[in-house]
Amino acid sequence: MEEEQEDGQRGADLLSLMLTLSERAGNIARRIRKDDHLIELLTQQKGSDEANPRFVQDFKTLADVLIQETVRHYIGEKFPELAPHIKGEESAKFSNTQGESVTVEVKETQAETAEMLCKVLDGDVSASEKLAEEVHKIVHIDDVNVGTAPIPSHLPLPVQNIGIWIDPIDSTAEYIAGDGPDGSDGPSSDPELMVKSGLHCVTVLIGAYDRSSGIPLMGVINQPFYMKENNQYVGRACWGVKWGNTRAFSSPICDCASRSKIIAISGSESADAKASLEEAGYELCQAAGAGYKLLCVILGIAQAYILTRDSTFKWDTCAPHAILRAQGGDILVRKGLGSTNECVKYTSPDFDEGVPDLMAQYCNRGGIVAYRSVNTLHSITSALSPS
């Protein structure tokens, strides 16, 4: 009984930590976009003779890596047994313009982290100190906009057997470009309608899965640029947990009849798939970011997200997948739709023997179909299955 109570407390603690870390990540992302010095490094404004392409490219990647390593550090600090099982999209190694190799990591103190970042940023003290400040700034659970659903105080999860996938900034191109036509921040559209592009599509994804089965069991999605209040961006986070009889999620489900036939797709979707879905009466909405499109399914803004290409990865889908499972949905491998209906798993890398490339190892091969209603799944299967 005591062991069960301890597991329940640790599971709840891990969810709270993932939520606060997602908001800390959002703070870093927002700080870069609103600070003149940092945004200049990020966007490499045209016409600047001082811009160093190699340096700026490093900074674009650094924003991703710094968030990834912040999440890794604080989860590993509180749950040391999970430290070897935390994975992310980015490599933490950098080479600055002096040829010095630096590994990005969060240090014990803010000053030490700033010193490390200064090496990556070729002595840019101002940028290094601002970023280190956000990394070490404490975020409380009350600082996270999670809506009205209470965060569970007891979650009996196999914490000792959990693995973590992090996508620090999903939809990086939108993050760099901003909302306005000239790359500047602009007001977001109605946050409850699907938008095609812009900062609204940027998400931070932190997903937990069972290392034995590969099944996702807990996920957090943070949308750092959810909307503007008093000319400042504010974020929101949604979460979900499904393990055994434990099931809980934060996000409201929109069942608007006007959205019942909307399917999210990417700009690279095949003409055949689009034609089949449109023939079945679906309205197709293109949007940036796998994380954002999956969030739209979670929120009920779209009924499903379909991708026939091998262009999403474990870090893209783990967190949203866990939330969808909590809602009664799933993410299936598109290739097996209607036959095996195999769900995407996260333990064993999907790669051909002898392929060392990280992207190839962790690609969701065969495409994906994400849904939250079994009725939607049946309709999609019928539409996409050959007659």
Residues with catalytic roles: 64, 89, 167, 169-170, 172, 316
Neighbours of 306 (CB within 10 A): 28
279 assigned to a ligand binding site: no
Closest by CA to 222, choosing from 157, 300, 170, is: 170
Rounded to whole angstroms, the Cα distance separating 176 from 338 reads: 39
On the 0-12 / 13-18 / 19+ scale of CB atoms within 10 A, 104 is buried
Q: Which of 99, 297, 125, 268 is nearest to 194 (CA)?
A: 297
Q: How far, in whole angstroms, is CA 109 from its chain's centroid?
A: 27
Query: Scanning the structure block, which residue is given the tokens 């999670």?
Result: 146
Residue 170 in marked binding region: yes
Instruction: Give yes or no for a contact between 295 and 170, defined as CB atoms under 8 angstroms apart.
Output: no
Query: Nearest to residue 290, comparing CAs of 270, 315, 326?
Result: 315
The tokens describing 277, both together, are 């879905």
Burial 62-81 (b: 16+ CB within 10 A, else e): bbbbbbbbbbbbbbbeebee
Alpha-carbon distances of 76 from 69, 103, 167, rounded to whole Å: 10, 17, 17
Q: How far apart are CA 277 and CA 268, in angstroms?
A: 15
Residues near 8 by Cβ (< 8 Å), separated by ≥ 6?
154, 155, 156
CA distances, 184 to each of 28, 191, 222, 331 (Å): 18, 19, 22, 35
Q: Is 89 annotated as a binding residue?
A: yes
Q: What is the dihedral of CA 73, 77, 79, 84, to 10 degrees?
A: 50
The annotated binding site for Mg(2+) is made up of 89, 167, 169-170, 316
